[in-house]
Amino acid sequence: MSFDEESKALYDAVAPHNDDAHFQAMLDRLESRFPGNGPLVDRYDTWRRAFVIPREKLDTVFQAAIAACRERTLAHVKLPPESFTVEYVTNKSWSGYNWYQGGFRSLIQVNTDLPVYIDRALDLACHEGYPGHHVYNALLEQRLVKERGWLEFTVYPLFSPQSLIAEGTANYGIEVAFPGRERAAFERSTLFLLAGIDPARAVEYYEVQELVERLSYAGNEAARRYLDGKIDREAAAAWLQRFALMPRDRAAQRVRFFDQYRSYVINYNYGKDLVRKFIESRGGTADNPAKRWQEFEKLLSSPRLPSGLR
């Protein structure tokens, strides 16, 4: 199968195609933000190093992030008695993972192979925890298994349409929990201080990250070309360095992810976009946060196919 045929068969979705010019237009804006000589990825990486969480402070920062995500989620979503454990691991192709244990318990693992930047603490806390995978799996267990007796939902097939819903809601849940400027405000007042990073640079950091986020679909294009045999491993990593602004080591890790999970990559960004459009079409817009939480919880706790979101 081609990349698109595989994603359609497994995840009930085909991500949009984008050419090099699409990403170059965004890179041009970042070129003006980081003027100088040499590849843009190197200039961006040099600037970004000031925002790495020191290894000895990682757990403190992550625990504070997940506590804030949990508090905000519980203000809108009623959960059964639940718990989670955090572990720090190495030698993985991903940056974070939730291994749901059943009984409303999760094991959340954070990969420390590469530097962890300050934005990743809240990203992972929301995505893997609240209101992401931990909440999603707990609600499915409570609403579908415990209450309805649907035992098939005790099994989660990773390579299935369920993953687009799971990853899409986990990524969209970050802005549901921390809408608009609330994220930068919280990180400036709490996480930056705990990490020992200058909080005065929080606004600057997130202005740049907003631009970089628009390059997320570059990962899909790299995976599509690589898995369709149009480029080799080295070319895929080089393409990620150029168009996704990933340093060499992170680009190599991402290609390892392509090898292991293949077209699964579309679930993160395209899944997020489908989830956002679905919830907004039902009134869950940014200016109606109560309705957005309500529709988000409904989506988390009900069985759906990605094609049903369009």
Q: State mean pLDDT over 80-106.
A: 95
The interaxial angle of helices 233-243 and 248-261, nearest 10 deg, is 120
Query: For position 148, what pLDDT does the model report?
Result: 97
* Confidence grade of residue 150 (pLDDT, cut at 50, 70, 90): very high
Q: State mean pLDDT over 294-301.
A: 96
Domain ranges for the chain, please list them: 3-309
Query: For position 276, what pLDDT does the model report?
Result: 97
Across the chain, mean pLDDT equals 95
Query: For position 259, what pLDDT does the model report?
Result: 97
Contact assessment for residue 43 and residue 34, using Cβ atoms and an 8 Å cutoff: yes
**Is the sign of the CA dihedral 40, 45, 51, 53 positive or negative?**
positive
Q: State mean pLDDT over 203-228.
A: 94
- Which tokens sit at 22? 């699409």
> Alpha-carbon Rg of the chain, whole angstroms?
19
Query: For position 131, what pLDDT does the model report?
Result: 98
Q: State mean pLDDT over 139-149.
A: 97
For residue 96, pLDDT over 90 is answered with yes
User: Bridge-partner residues for 96, per DSSP?
Assistant: 110
User: Bridge-partner residues for 84, per DSSP?
Assistant: 106
Query: For position 104, what pLDDT does the model report?
Result: 97
CA distance 193 to 187: 8
Tens digits of residue pLDDT in 25-73: 999 989 988 988 899 999 999 999 999 999 999 999 999 999 999 999 9
Which has the closest alpha carbon to 243: 226, 268, 267, 228?
226
> Is this model's pTM higher than 0.85 or not?
yes
Q: State mean pLDDT over 281-304.
A: 95
* Confidence grade of residue 180 (pLDDT, cut at 50, 70, 90): confident
Query: For position 295, what pLDDT does the model report?
Result: 97
Query: For position 151, what pLDDT does the model report?
Result: 96
Query: For position 42, what pLDDT does the model report?
Result: 95
Query: For position 310, what pLDDT does the model report?
Result: 78
CA distance 85 to 175: 24
CA distance 259 to 231: 13
